[in-house]
Amino acid sequence: MPPRIPTNPSASSASALVRNSFASPCTSQSLPGGRAGFSTTPIRERSTNLRRAFLEWTRKVASHYRRPNSEGPSYLINGRPSPASRNRLRPFPLNRNFQSESVLNDQARELIWGKVMRKGESLKAVSAELGVDLTRVAAVVRLKEVEKDWVSKGKKLATPYSRAVLGMLPTKSLREGVENQPLEPINELHIHAATQKQLFWPTSESRQFTREDAAKAFHPKMLSADERVPHPELIQMEKDLLRNMSPNEARTRFINAAEESERKAAQRQMKKAMAEEQATTKINTPRFEFRFREVDSELVGKNGRAPNVVGWKYGMPHYDRKKGMVKIPTSVP
């Protein structure tokens, strides 16, 4: 027997069902919530609890965070704005690993450059006066020179970038003619590889064991810690002050000693360059200059495998491309 359409009086006919499904979206009464597709009445203003709380929060708590703070960025942590001072060394609160020390601002770098290049003060004296590390002073002078060279050549500087970065980081300003808070400790003793071994060195109790002796115990050619620090002249100055020398005189002596040590270093460098020049024969050809450096090929060590033998070596692997070898230049030429 074929299936039949049930003849139930409560169910409407197929045509009526179709008609209803088309008609229902157009009637506003049939939608829940009373929203009408074509209604021209405006949506009712709804002020939820959350919105009210937010507005209140912007009025009370967050009002003084509308404008940027001069101390540094102020971020919201757990809905509460954190004080700018706490963000000073950690400018990105989500990156807990990034902690920045203060960096020199442009005015401070300009001051350092002016002292060294315009007034001709020695790097050591500038470093000691401003409390900036000796290598940093040298780097600032070098980079300022590059910057000024670019400016003179009309090269465009990335000033907005620099301003943005310095705006995010804690900066340090230096003033001339006043005692500045030092940026960093300047007379730190760098760790020498020879001092990293454990040593058992028995001496008699009656004997004075000085820093010189300690250095000799590590290595016969090693200088004492007092001489290996970046500013041995500062130690001398303190000794002078302990001997009741007037501060002015001690300062003058320090400046003179710093200049002297720099002059000696420059002389040493000059001598080295001269010796290099002496040992080199330069032959000019139209295309290239050929530089013949005189070497001694007989300095090969006891077994002929000394590390500084001239030329590439035979039967020894060359580790220049090995993993972990430093392949970028490590010094400024």
Partner 1 sequence: MTIKIRLARFGRRNAPFYNIVVAHARTARNSKPLEVIGTYDPIPKADPYDDSGRLHKDIKLDTLRAKYWIGVGAQPTDTMWRLLSMVGIMHPKYRDQKPRTAPPLPADIQKPEAASPST
**Which residues are near partner 1 by CB under 8 A?**
281-283, 287-298, 309-312, 314-315, 333
Spatial separation of the C-alpha atoms in residues 273 and 28, rounded to whole Å: 95
Give me the least distance between CB of 146 and partner 1, in Å please.
Answer: 11
Residue 9 or residue 333: which is nearer to partner 1 going by CB? 333
Measured from the CB atom, the residue of 185 and 333 that comes closer to partner 1 is 333
Nearer to partner 1, 51 or 305 (CB): 305
**Could you give the angle at which helices 232-242 and 123-130 cross, rounded to 10 degrees?**
60
Q: Name the 3-class secondary structure at 213.
A: helix
Q: Which residues of 133-150 are buried (b: 16+ CB within 10 A; e: fewer)?
A: bbebbbebbeebeebeee
CB of 264 to partner 1, least distance (A): 24
Point out which residues pair with 281 in neighbouring strands.
Answer: 292
| Strand, helix or coil for residue 196 | helix
* C-beta of 227 vs 276, nearer to partner 1: 276
Q: Which is nearer to partner 1, 179 or 289 (CB)?
A: 289
Distance of alpha carbon 230 from alpha carbon 211, whole angstroms: 16
Write out the two tokens for 183: 């940026």
Cβ neighbours for 309, distance < 8 A, ≥ 6 positions apart: 299, 300, 301
Q: Name the minimum Å distance from CB 279 to partner 1.
A: 10
Nearer to partner 1, 66 or 293 (CB): 293
What angle do the packed helices 106-113 and 134-152 form, to 10 degrees? 90
Instruction: Give dist(CA 278, CA 289) in Å, integer.
Output: 16
User: Using an 8 Å Cβ cutoff, are 97 and 82 in contact?
Assistant: no
Residue nearer to partner 1 on the CB measure, 161 or 319: 319
Q: Which of 53, 66, 62, 166 lies closest to 108 in space, CA to CA?
A: 166
Name residues whose C-beta falls within 8 Å of residue 319's C-beta, 6 or more positions apart in sequence.
Answer: 325
DSSP bridge partners of 80: 77
In whole angstroms, give the CA distance from residue 13 to residue 75.
66
Q: How far is the CB of 137 from partner 1 (least distance, A)?
A: 21
What minimum distance in Å lies between the beta carbon of 333 and partner 1?
4
Write down the least CB distance from residue 287 to partner 1, Å. 8
Closest CB 296 distance from partner 1, rounded Å? 6
59/291 with CB nearer partner 1: 291
Cβ within 8 Å of residue 240, ≥6 positions away:
249, 250, 253
Q: Which is nearer to partner 1, 201 or 290 (CB)?
A: 290
Closest CB 305 distance from partner 1, rounded Å: 12
Task: Name the minimum Å distance from CB 276 to partner 1.
Answer: 12
For the beta carbon of residue 213, count every other beta carbon within 10 angstroms: 13
